[in-house]
Amino acid sequence: MTQTPEDPQIQPETPSAADLPNTGLPNTGLPNTGLPNNDLVTNEAIAVATDAPVELPTPDLTPTWVYAPPVVASEHPAGSASPAVKKAIIAGAISGLIAGMLGFVGASVIGNSPSPSISLPSSKGQKSARADDSIAGIAQAVLPVVVSIDVTSDQGSGTGSGFVIRSTAKESFILTNNHVATGSGGAQKITVTFQDQSQETATIVGTDASYDLAVLRIDRGNLPVAALGDSSDVVVGDATIAIGSPLGLTGTVTSGIVSALNRPVTAGDSTDVSFISAIQTDAAINPGNSGGPLVNSRGEVIGINSAIATTGSSVSGQSGSIGLGFAIPINQARRVATELIATGSSSYPVIGVQLDMTYDGQGALVDSVVADGPASKTDLAPDDVITEIDGAKVSDGTELVVRIRAKNPGDVVKLTLSDGKVIEVTLGSNQN
């Protein structure tokens, strides 16, 4: 399973003759009687070939039609009708004519009459209240701060999402993913689209590839701003709502729960890797959701949707949601965004060692200690194996880096070595 940035029926065929059930009969085009063809009965088959006269028995009874009286011979010559019959014929004709006229008149009257009025009860949507803490209520409150981001360059194009984190009278700042803002490469044109379909051209204020974050600026002020929550208050099982533009479908809302916390996730390539201690959610996140907010049941942003796990490529060549989405915790993103707005760059915490990322044992193997770095002021040495940080198990070098990146420069961490020794290190910082 890999983590990747998450940047139309067939009519049933009519059966052919070969598909029809086999009746065991030759195809004569006749209905199937269930009898072989040589069992068909003909007059010739029952004729008796003989020269002797055939004497038929004389029946004893005169046959009659069922439910019909016997016909009494008439004294009138053939070809003429009795006066009674004639009267009956005339009376029938007159009666039929009158009935036809009455039927025509009745049909005309009914046809020209107005149709009866039918009215079914209805309930109008605006009368149905939505609780503020329902998914519908939260979506209504958060959607105005969410934008769609389209990036084009001479090397390609891409789409993602973002949300407004600061707005003044003249300008506003939008938080998104680094891979959204810079993913197209080259000289880029960035267009921000709001929920009312109005657009603004954006410029990049700053990016941080190590956290996969970027801040954009637009020349439009007095915009609604997202409410930022506290990701340290999130627990597994909390409700989540993801909002963004998957596959360019702006204003898409999906929901789920927090599936796990502190999930170590790396995304990018060997030259531009992001290390994320991520919030895992089963809310559907798809390509184009990148940079959009993950919010809690109070409508507060707790994370920035950034990556999804996949089991392989889809038929279309793009991966999609399998219920494993990852978001950058907002507490981590808040610090980085603040630095980017203030200075155009940001920092990340370090302990001042180089790790052997090829080590396949349990823990993180120290390859070397950086001169004048934070670890150089401690007893940490090459070949030490770090197995825990602040009491949390460390399975490999990547997980150690992710755990450290979740901290802030200046924080003090406790590193436990494989021999049980505990070393305290005050985190330094590197500039992106």
pLDDT digits (tens, 9 = 90+) for 58-109: 444 433 333 333 434 444 444 455 565 566 666 666 766 676 666 655 555 5
Q: Higher-confidence residue: 19 or 377? A: 377
| pLDDT score for 274 | 87
Mean per-residue pLDDT, 185-198: 90
Burial 236-266 (b: 16+ CB within 10 A, else e): eeebbbbbbbbeeebebbbbbebbebebbbb
**C-alpha–C-alpha distance, residues 50 and 194, integer Å:** 103
Q: Are 6 and 326 in contact (CB under 8 A)?
A: no
Do 349 and 403 meet the contact criterion of CB atoms below 8 Å apart?
Answer: no
Whole-number Cα distances in Å, 184 to 181, 305, 337, 346: 8, 19, 21, 22
- The pLDDT assigned to 45 comes to 40
Residue 78 pLDDT: 43
Question: Token pair of 35, please?
Answer: 């009898």
Residue 68: the pLDDT is 34
Q: Which pLDDT belongs to residue 89? A: 61
Residue spans of the domains in the chain: they are: 135-343, 347-431
What's the pLDDT at 83? 61
Per-residue DSSP letter, 228: B
370/384 Cα distance (integer angstroms): 14
- Average pLDDT value for residue range 13-36: 43
Number of other CB atoms surrounding residue 94 within 10 Å: 10
384 and 401 Cβ atoms separated by less than 8 Å: no
Taking Cα atoms as reference points, which of 338, 348, 349 lies closest to residue 215? 338
Six-digit token string for 225: 């701003």
Provide the pLDDT for residue 187.
Answer: 72
As its CATH architecture, domain 135-343 has Beta Barrel (2.40)
Contacts of 126 by beta carbon, 8 Å cutoff, 6+ apart: none
394 has pLDDT over 50? yes
As given in the structure block, the two tokens for residue 28 are 């004569």
Q: How many CA atoms lie within 13 A of 67 on its CB side?
A: 0
| pLDDT tens per residue, range 148-157 | 999 998 888 8
Query: How is 268-283 classified by DSSP, letter by letter?
Result: EETTEEEEEEEEEE-S
The mean-pLDDT minimum among 99-113, 189-203, 376-390 falls in 99-113
Nearest alpha carbon to residue 299 among 144, 171, 127? 144
Q: What is the chain's alpha carbon radius of gyration, rounded to the nearest angstrom?
A: 43
| Position 333 pLDDT exceeds 60 | yes
Average confidence score pLDDT of the chain: 80
- Over residues 281-331, the pLDDT tens digits come to 999 999 999 999 999 999 999 999 999 987 754 444 456 888 999 999 999
Using CA atoms, how far apart are residues 421 and 310, in angstroms rounded to an integer?
39
The CATH architecture of the domain made up of 347-431 is Roll (2.30)
Q: Which of 27-36, 95-104, 135-144, 211-220 has the lowest mean pLDDT?
A: 27-36
Burial class (CB in 10 A: 0-12, 13-18, 19+), 5: buried
Answer yes or no: is pLDDT of 8 > 60.
no
Contact 138, 205 (CB under 8 A): no
Q: In the structure, what pLDDT confidence band is assigned to residue 263 with cuts at 50, 70 and 90?
A: very high
- The C-alpha atoms of residue 72 and residue 82 are separated, in whole angstroms, by 14
Answer for the pair 325, 243: CB distance below 8 angstroms, yes or no.
no
Helices (H), 260-371: 330-343
Check if the beta carbon of residue 292 is closer than 8 Å to that of residue 175. no
Strands 272-281 and 252-269: antiparallel
**Band (122; pLDDT cuts 50, 70, 90):** low
What amino acid positions are annotated as catalytic residues? 179, 212, 290
Distance of CA 339 to the CA centre of its chain: 35
Instruction: Look at residue 316 in the predicted model and tell me its pLDDT.
Output: 44
Residue with tokens 């916390």: 261
In this structure, what token pair is assigned to residue 367?
């390859």
Residue 115 has pLDDT above 80, yes or no: no
By the 8 A CB rule, do 296 and 238 touch?
yes
Q: What is the mean pLDDT of residues 174-195?
A: 90
Please give the pLDDT value at position 70: 40
Looking at residue 9, its pLDDT comes to 41
What pLDDT band is residue 432 in, cutting at 50, 70 and 90?
confident
Least confident interval from 3-17, 283-297, 354-368: 3-17
Question: 152 burial class (0-12, 13-18, 19+ CB within 10 angstroms)?
Answer: middle
pLDDT at 349: 95
